[in-house]
Amino acid sequence: MNTFKLIRLNMARKRIRSVLLVLSIAIAFFIYALLASFEHGFKGADSTSERLVVSAKAGAAQLLPISSLDRIAQLPEVATVTYRSNFRATFNDPKNFMGANAVDPSSYAAYFEGQYNFGEGQIAALETQRDGLLVGAAIAAREGWKVGDRIVLNSPFERKLDGTRNWQFQIAGIFEGTGPAIDTNFVIMRYDYFNLGRQNNQDTVANFGILPASGVSADQVIAAVDARFANSAHETQTRTENDFMKAFVEQFADVTTIVQLVVGAAFVTILMIVANTMFFAIRERTLEIGVLKVLGFSGGYIMRAVLAETLWIFAIGVTLGMGAAYGAGIVLSGPLSTIVPSLTLTPSIIVNATLLALVFSLLTGGLPAINAMRIPTTAALKGA
Amino acid sequence: MTIQPQENPGVRLQGVNKGYRIGNEQVTIFDDLDLTIPEGDFVAVMGPSGSGKSTLLNMIGGIDRPDSGQITCGFSKLNTMSEGAMGRWRASNVGYVFQFYNLMPMLSAAQNVELPLLLTKLNARQRKERVETVLKLVGLGNRAKHLPSELSGGQMQRVGIARALAVDPKILLCDEPTGDLDRKSADEILEMLRVLNKEFGKTIVMVTHDDSACRFAKRTLRLDKGKFVESAPITAQAA
Ligand SMILES: Nc1ncnc2c1ncn2[C@@H]1O[C@H](COP(=O)(O)OP(=O)(O)OP(=O)(O)O)[C@@H](O)[C@H]1O
Ligand SMILES: [Mg+2]
């Protein structure tokens, strides 16, 4: 026998209680991990890139004229500028949708260098093929598309000059994200092909993308661009890509707040249950703690044993919860791929969950542990 | 009772005061109490409920502290020790036997006996040997794997005694060790304590309400109103 076994035997005493505790912790961390990976996938990874996005000051849904391009490009603070229109496209089934970007291939590739792997010659192929389409690996896998396939995408909102909503393409390449959390659930087409074909909003773009010139800070670029268009008919709001994505997502729903509320409520509830249960579980053992002290076990030893027990309960709970979330992520990532590109447990989610579990086990185990340490032996022997 | 200066002085209380403040009232339990229990003694302590028998035992064992006065056990001055030092001293010098056994319910007899050995330097194999030895000594060699719930009261108290003996302490403190047992089991336990005192030289202080338990001790102290009324040693120890 050893201390570790003693702790294990203590946990096994009220098996149902321990199992319920572990399960409730597992459920809390399951919710946490799943929602955190959902949120993470929805927002995209917090990139540390220098990418900036220029959208209309009136709102990111407003369009900007393509004519602003030259004025942005002329600014000395700007190294690279690209532009895009985007819309929702569907394939076969109106519910089977994907993002569609109409872009300038070479500046787009330069802008997203490091985020997507455009394999050998993909950009060049797109530049020589007017109706070419680069397809994200996630979609290609889902639809079974190969390079050279001819496909027709529909758009509920972008009508063509001929009045139809059917856009013909030939697949020119399949690109991948450079990491598992990078969304590839979209397609890339040429801006000129799209722009000349569409009935409405010709010569507009959704936004511009900028890489700052070397030695120029994001704030300097933001100031320069927005000043250039101040008091014009098309005022701009320039933001870092992270800020832009956040604002974009928050247009629809404040996902972060919802996630935090749900997870927060789950955690607070679980924390109270666990704290309460641990408190009474340890109090039931007051007499035994007294006996241990009589045998010569120190208050510190008893405190550590109680803390170790909570820690252990949390460790099992977190492992189960995170494991379940990992499994659920794999199962759900298929059906949910059109909503959220990836449901991976990123290292930061795992680290956060571990830290949270550590803090919670100290919080819930701390009070009973300190009580157990401090209770005088004579009082404990009376079972007080 | 004279003690040679070079001998182990046993247990010694000098000028011990102990009381409790309940509300505004100061309740005195011991007032300037002196007591010497030489090494190898077997003392039965009797007295009415609330007279301070358990308190006395707890002070000797370093679980409770006097308000003032000196307590020495062997060569250790308990009243000057820190809590931690007292715990360490107790772990190797005192065995405690409780009225209601106070065994850990989730531990087997052997594991209960092994518990205090976790604080020693013995390795797992040595602990196992020691546990087997003491369980055999109390006649429970064949019950090692049983949980307390699978043992009778008398057997549980034997486990309690085995646990108290595990670290081979000099002093055994027993608080009504037979208070929960029928006559036959009680006599077996008392006989065991007598053997431990006689054959193994343990110093035993035993609190009891049982007049016949005193027959097993070398002498009986009657505690009343904070003072001892010492009875003459009962010469006819039970065989
Ligand atoms: N924590 C405490 N606070 C106040 N008074 C206490 C406390 N502990 C013990 N006492 C008092 O000290 C006195 C002695 O208690 P003790 O437990 O030593 O008695 P006892 O002789 O062992 O009695 P019993 O035979 O019933 O076990 C009692 O009057 C009790 O009320
Ligand atoms: Mg008592």
What was the pLDDT predicted at B159? 97
How much distance in Å is there from the Cα of B64 to the middle of ligand 1? 12
Q: Are A33 and A108 members of one domain?
A: no
What was the pLDDT predicted at A339? 60
Ligand nearest to the CA of B51: 1
Q: Are A164 and A230 members of one domain?
A: yes
Structure confidence at residue A382 as a pLDDT band (50, 70, 90)? confident
Measured distance CA(A350)–CA(A340) in Å, rounded: 19
Q: Look at residue A121 and give its three-state secondary structure.
A: coil
Ligand nearest to the CA of B47: 1
Structure confidence at residue A48 as a pLDDT band (50, 70, 90)? low
Structure confidence at residue A59 as a pLDDT band (50, 70, 90)? confident
Domain boundary among A199, A234, A269: A234
Q: Are A75 and A184 members of one domain?
A: yes
pLDDT of A81 over the 90 cut: yes
Q: Is B49 in the pocket of ligand 1 (CB under 6 A)?
A: yes
CB of A9 within 8 Å of any CB in chain B? yes
What was the pLDDT predicted at A253? 63
Q: Are A142 and A221 members of one domain?
A: yes
Domain boundary among A206, A234, A262: A234
- Nearest CB among A3, A288, A296 relative to B87 is that of A296
Chain A: nearest CA to B98, how far in angstroms? 9
Give the pair of three-digit tokens for residue B232: 């003459």
CB-based contact A296 B111, cutoff 8 Å: no
Residues of A in Cβ contact (< 8 Å) with B119: 295-297
Q: Are A224 and A353 members of one domain?
A: no
Chain B: nearest CA to A274, how far in angstroms? 22
Residues of A in Cβ contact (< 8 Å) with B127: 1
CB of B58 within 8 Å of any CB in chain A? yes
pLDDT in tens, A105-139: 999 999 998 889 887 789 999 999 999 999 999 89
What was the pLDDT predicted at B64? 94
Nearest-CA residue for atom 14 of ligand 1: B52
Count CA atoms within 13 Å of residue A86 on its CB side.
Answer: 16
Residues of B in Cβ contact (< 8 Å) with A11: none
Q: Are A176 and A29 members of one domain?
A: no
Measured distance CA(A376)–CA(B83) in Å, rounded: 10
Q: Are A79 and A164 members of one domain?
A: yes
Q: Are A172 and A211 members of one domain?
A: yes
Annotation: CATH topology of B11-232:
Rossmann fold (3.40.50)
CB of B83 within 8 Å of any CB in chain A? yes
Residues of B in Cβ contact (< 8 Å) with A296: 87-88, 90-92, 116, 119
Measured distance CA(A277)–CA(A267) in Å, rounded: 15
How much distance in Å is there from the Cα of B19 to the middle of ligand 1? 10
Residue A145 lies in a domain: yes
Chain A: nearest CA to B232, how far in angstroms? 31
The residue to mutate among B53, B56, B176, having the most atoms of ligand 1 within 8 angstroms of its beta carbon, is B53
Indicate the domain borders of chain B: 11-232
ipTM: 0.92
Distance of CA B111 to the CA centre of its chain: 21
Residue A244 lies in a domain: no
Nearest-CA residue for atom 4 of ligand 1: B20
Q: Which residues contact A321 (CB under 8 A, 6 or more apart)?
A: A25, A26, A27, A28, A29, A30, A31, A32, A33, A353
Measured distance CA(A350)–CA(A322) in Å, rounded: 8
What was the pLDDT predicted at B236? 43
Measured distance CA(A317)–CA(A18) in Å, rounded: 10
- Nearest CB among B63, B83, B107 relative to A294 is that of B63
Q: Look at residue B173 and give its three-state secondary structure.
A: strand
Q: Look at residue B84 and give its three-state secondary structure.
A: helix
Q: Are A38 and A63 members of one domain?
A: no
What was the pLDDT predicted at A42? 67
Q: How many domains does chain A have?
A: 2
- Nearest CB among B107, B114, B119 relative to A297 is that of B119
Q: What backbone torsions phi and psi does residue A59 show, to the nearest 5 degrees?
A: 145, 145
How much distance in Å is there from the Cα of B56 to the middle of ligand 1? 10
Structure confidence at residue A338 as a pLDDT band (50, 70, 90)? low
Going by C-alpha positions, the residue among A72, A54, A74 that lies closest to residue A64 is A54
Measured distance CA(B209)–CA(B211) in Å, rounded: 6
Q: Are A39 and A161 members of one domain?
A: no
How much distance in Å is there from the Cα of B52 to the middle of ligand 1? 6
How much distance in Å is there from the Cα of B195 to the middle of ligand 1? 30
CB of B50 within 8 Å of any CB in chain A? no
Residue A291 lies in a domain: yes
Q: Which residues contact B175 (CB under 8 A, 6 or more apart)?
A: B53, B54, B57, B96, B97, B98, B99, B207
pLDDT of A184 over the 60 cut: yes
Most B-contacting residue of A295, A298, A382 (CB-CB within 10 A), to test interface:
A295
Q: Are A219 and A329 members of one domain?
A: no
Q: Are A210 and A80 members of one domain?
A: yes
- Nearest CB among B58, B88, B118 relative to A3 is that of B118
Domain boundary among A234, A265, A285: A234
What was the pLDDT predicted at B237? 45
Residue A246 lies in a domain: no
pLDDT in tens, A29-43: 998 888 888 777 766
More confident residue, A337 or A176: A176
Angle at A32 between CA A31 and CA A37, to 5 degrees: 100
Low-confidence ranges of chain B (pLDDT < 70): 1-8, 230-239
pLDDT in tens, A353-381: 999 999 999 999 999 999 899 999 999 99
Domain ranges, residue A29 = 3-44+254-381
Written in H, E and C, the secondary structure of A317-331 is HHHHHHHHHHHHHHH
Residue A248 lies in a domain: no
How much distance in Å is there from the Cα of A279 to the middle of ligand 1? 27
Nearest atom, ligand 1, residue B57 CA: 18
Residues of B in Cβ contact (< 8 Å) with A287: 102
